[in-house]
Structure 1
C-alpha cells in the first residue's frame, strides 16, 4: 500500500512537470503567429530599428522621411520599415511602437528563418534601398548580422528540434496517464529525448541571438551608430524552463516503473 502511494506521488509529479513543460512549448510555438495580444507578447528575438532613420540621415545628410511605414501594414513589400520586429519560430511580425496593437505578420511557415538584414531590406522603400543596404553592410562588425544564409540554416535546425520536442513531450504526458510499466518507461525516454532536443535548440538560438546582437555596437566608418538594436525575447527563457521541467520529470517517471503497483 505504501509502495503504491509512493508510485501515485511519482506519477503525479512526473505528469505535472511534463504538462507544464508542454504548455511552455506550446506558448513558444504560438509566438508571433499573428499580432494578437498573446502571440505578440511571445518572441524569440526582437529588433528595434527606430534610430535607423536618424543614423542614416546623419551619415548621408539627406532626410529620411518616408523610410518608416505608419499606415500600410504589409511586410516584405518595400512599403516602409516597422519600428519593431519580433520573431517567432513560424513568422515575423512588425509593430508600431506608438500602438503595440497595430502590426502585421508574415505568412506563417514551418521553420521560418531569422533573417534580420533581409527583413530590413525587403521593407525598405525602393528609393532608400541602395542607401540602407550600403549603410548597414559597410558598417564595422556587421558580418554576422548580414549573414542571412547562416541564420537560415541554424534557425531551420532549431525549429525542427523544438517541433519534435513539443510532440514528444505531448506524447510523454498523455501515455504517462496510462499507468503501466511500459508507458512509464516510454514517457521517461520521450522526456529525455525532448530535453536533449530543447537543450540543443536553446543553445543554437542563444548563439544566433548573441551573434545578431553585434549590430547593437556597429558603427559606420564615420563613427555613426547603425541605429539597430537586437534583444532576446522571452521565448528562449520558456525553452530553458521547459528543459528543466523535462529533466526533472525523468526521475519520477523512472521511479514509477518500480514503485507503482496496480490494485
Structure 2
C-alpha cells in the first residue's frame, strides 16, 4: 500500500475520532438543548419515591423538586434524572428542564452525594438507610474512579488530536510521531473508558434491589452516549495507528 493512501486513511480515521471526542467532552457543560442529552452516566431516580414509600411506609410527598431554577445541593428536593459529564453534573425534570452545577475539570460522579445534597432533610436518614451497602454508596470509590477515568480520557483525546495534527505534515518523522500519539492516545482512551464502564456496571446493580412488599428501590444507573462515543473513538484511533506506521516506512515525496 502506498504511503499516500495510508496517510489519507489514517487522517480520515483521526478526524472521525477527534470529532467524536469533542462531542463526548462537551456533554453536560450546561443544560442546553445541544448538550443535555450527552452524558457519561445517568442516575434515574424518578421511581425512587414509590420504592421509598413502599419500603418505609412513609409518604414521599415533597421528596421531589419541581423547579428548574433551584440550585442543586440545596436540599430543595430530588430531580428526576441526574446526568454526569466529564466536567459537570446536571439534574433534570421529566419535562426536560434542568440545572447544572459549576463546571470543573474531571468532575467526579458521586451519585449518592448528589441525591443526599438534594433530598429534603426529613427524608435524608431513611434514604441513606434504605439504600444497601454497595459501590453506589461509596462516594470515595465513585469519585476516584471517575476522576481518574476522565483524566485519562482527556490525555488520550489530546493524543488523538496530536496524531491528527502531525499526520497532516508530510514527513516521515511526523508520521512516526503521529503513530506514537495515536497509540498512546488509544491506550489511554481505553483505560479511561474502562474505568467509567466499571463504575457504572457496579452502580447499576442497584436496579435489582427490592424493598419491602416486593417494591423495587427505583434507582437506575445507566451509561450515556458520551461513554459510547469514547469507546468508538478508541476504536478509530487504534485503527489509525497502523496506517501511520506504514506511511512512516513507505512515504516518499
Q: What TM-score, normalized by structure 2, do the two folds share?
A: 0.95
- Indicate the SS of the match to 2:75: coil
1:92-107 aligned within 5 A: 92-97=89-94, 99-100=95-96, 102-107=97-102
**Residue aligning to 1:50:** 46
Structure 1 runs of 4+ aligned residues shifted over 6 Å read none
Q: Is the contact made by 1:73 and 1:103 (CA closer than 8 Å) also made in structure 2?
A: no
Post-superposition shift, 1:221?
A: 5.7
1:83-232 aligned within 5 A: 83-97=80-94, 99-100=95-96, 102-136=97-131, 139=132, 142-220=133-211, 223-232=214-223
**Residue aligning to 2:24:** 28
**What are structure 1's unaligned runs of at least 5 residues?**
none
Taking the aligned partners of 2:76 and 2:251, their CA distance within structure 1 comes to: 62
**Residue aligning to 2:79:** 82
CA distances 1:180-223 after superposition (whole Å, capped 9, x unpaired): 01100000000000010011112111111110001101123664
- Indicate the SS of the match to 1:53: helix
- Indicate the SS of the match to 1:85: strand
Q: Is the contact made by 2:9 and 2:243 (CA closer than 8 Å) also made in structure 1?
A: yes
Aligned residue among 250, 255, 259 for 2:250:
259
CA distances 1:73-105 after superposition (whole Å, capped 9, x unpaired): 3211111100011111111111111x21x1011
Q: What TM-score, normalized by structure 1, do the two folds share?
A: 0.91
Post-superposition shift, 1:13?
A: 0.8
**Residue aligning to 2:14:** 18
Taking the aligned partners of 1:111 and 1:58, their CA distance within structure 2 comes to: 37
Taking the aligned partners of 2:16 and 2:82, their CA distance within structure 1 comes to: 28
Post-superposition shift, 1:59?
A: 2.3
